[in-house]
Amino acid sequence: MELQEEIFTKIVSLVNKGKLSFQKKNFEKAIEYYMKARTIFPVPIEEYKGSEQLYILLGDACFASKKYEKAQEYYIQSQNCVDKDQYLNSKFKIGKIFFEIEQTDLAKKYFQLVYDNSGKKLFYFEDAKYYNLIICSGNKGTNKEEKQNSVYKSFKGKNYTKEEWDIFEQRQWEEYLIKKGNFSKKNEKGLFLDEK
């Protein structure tokens, strides 16, 4: 379901404050803003568009604070939302939690699932240690995207596949909008600007 405009505006304002706190590495303050935004959502929150992104943001702030159990709880809650666009993203993030708490077999399982369904897309802007876990195990799977490994463009000494270039361009555009102060607007992809 769609949020009413007044509620949407309040939520976006709190989320943007949370994102700014997160960027300043004030993760506790970010969690506080996200939790305030969560209380504004009508109940049941899972039925409203944008709830899955809010749970992902809460999970990210908890992960950054090394509150791994709480982060996992929020990532799992994001999977229960009506809009499941973030499903593989949350699976990837749960894999990161297992990696950080040294449960590498479970981390590998989650990373393999993500890789088999979306290729390297979610690994691209992350620490290489996560992708290396499935590479070093010699079990990359049989993903269709392997054929897209050819260089599409090069920029500042780095080679990009077509998919990687598209992600890079999207991130550049989002950073530009944030710098221009347009980060509170809805975009066509979803509720918040950094949705994937």
Do residues 85 and 190 lie in contact, with contact meaning Cβ atoms separated by under 8 Å?
yes
User: Predicted confidence band at 86 (pLDDT cuts at 50, 70, 90)?
Assistant: confident
For 60-77, write each residue's pLDDT tens digit. Answer: 999 999 999 999 999 999
Asked if pLDDT for residue 106 goes beyond 60, the answer is yes
pLDDT of residue 143: 47
Do residues 91 and 113 lie in contact, with contact meaning Cβ atoms separated by under 8 Å?
yes
Q: Where do we find the tokens 């993760």?
A: 27
* Crossing angle for the helix pair 87-100 and 128-136, to the nearest 10 degrees: 80
Mean pLDDT of the chain: 82
pLDDT of residue 50: 87
Q: Global pTM?
A: 0.69
Burial class (CB in 10 A: 0-12, 13-18, 19+), 172: exposed
For 130-172, write each residue's pLDDT tens digit. Answer: 988 888 765 554 444 444 456 667 777 777 676 777 777 777 7
